[in-house]
Structure 1
């Protein structure tokens, strides 16, 4: 089997991502791999033309970025206390495109991503970031779904 020396984990900080992270960390430990944890801030709609007196678009963007950094720091503190071979990336854009781009930039040998397992109309409306990553990634993708209860 191919050695996964660089593993990338995409997270949206949901329960699904937390569950998938356990797989990513187990594989990183097994292969003594560098683990890159990526969170993509979905680009918000451009609100610059809308008058919102309490906050500017730039302030909103800054708050969103700071919130993502804080969530990533908390995530790493809680999940990676005893694993030091990792780095984090926070990107803005279309999630599946950024995940693939970051995997290419880091030379990831494997992407691990959680999936919500949406079906039917919900899948049609919201789509699936995991499915798009699987279809377009240049390396293997492990898609992990929460167990069905």
Structure 2
């Protein structure tokens, strides 16, 4: 049997990532694994500064971080099942798929549980798919979850 002791669950606070978190919690419970809930603050300041060089970003970063921490606190409050497992939260700043891959490699995670929005067409071309990039580059197995497509029943 595969030994799963560390699970990484990236969240963007969407309904899809909340759905994926339910799976991550269940996997952590079944395998008695540690769960890290990981949020990447997308560094949009580089893009905006390129187009609007006159805009200052002194407080912008701080406001993004504070908003992310508030959302994480709400997320944790909504999942009472977290009290039954070992978990931690962590934040990073950068490009989501790169930060997720780096976190998985650096901290030797055994599994990533990630939600996928299932974008297609122009939206997929413009925004890409973080989950797809994570699946392709991950150093460990990735369990991707689409919102309410199929409910997986834990043994």
TM-score, normalised relative to structure 2 = 0.87
1:69-120 CA deviation, whole Å, 9 max, x = no partner?
A: 1111221122145234111111000000000111112211000100001112
User: Which residue does 1:23 correspond to in 2?
Assistant: 23
User: Which residue does 1:96 correspond to in 2?
Assistant: 97
> How far did 1:147 drift?
2.4
Q: Helix, strand or coil: the match of 2:144?
A: strand
Q: Helix, strand or coil: the match of 1:57?
A: coil
User: Which residue does 2:66 correspond to in 1?
Assistant: 66
CA distance in 1, matches of 2:112, 2:35: 10
User: Which residue does 1:44 correspond to in 2?
Assistant: 44
Q: Helix, strand or coil: the match of 1:28?
A: helix
> How far did 1:65 drift?
0.5
CA distance in 2, matches of 1:19, 1:72: 15
User: Which residue does 1:77 correspond to in 2?
Assistant: 77
CA distance in 2, matches of 1:144, 1:8: 14
C-alpha root-mean-square deviation of aligned residues, in Å?
Answer: 1.7
Residues 4 and 33 of structure 2 are in contact (CA less than 8 Å); yes or no, is this contact kept in structure 1?
yes
TM-score, normalised relative to structure 1 = 0.90
User: Which residue does 2:132 correspond to in 1?
Assistant: 131
Structure 1's unaligned 5+ residue stretches are none
> How far did 1:66 drift?
0.8
Q: How many equivalent residue pairs?
A: 145
CA distance in 1, matches of 2:136, 2:112: 12
Q: Which runs of 4+ in 1 moved over 4 A?
A: none
> How far did 1:145 drift?
0.3
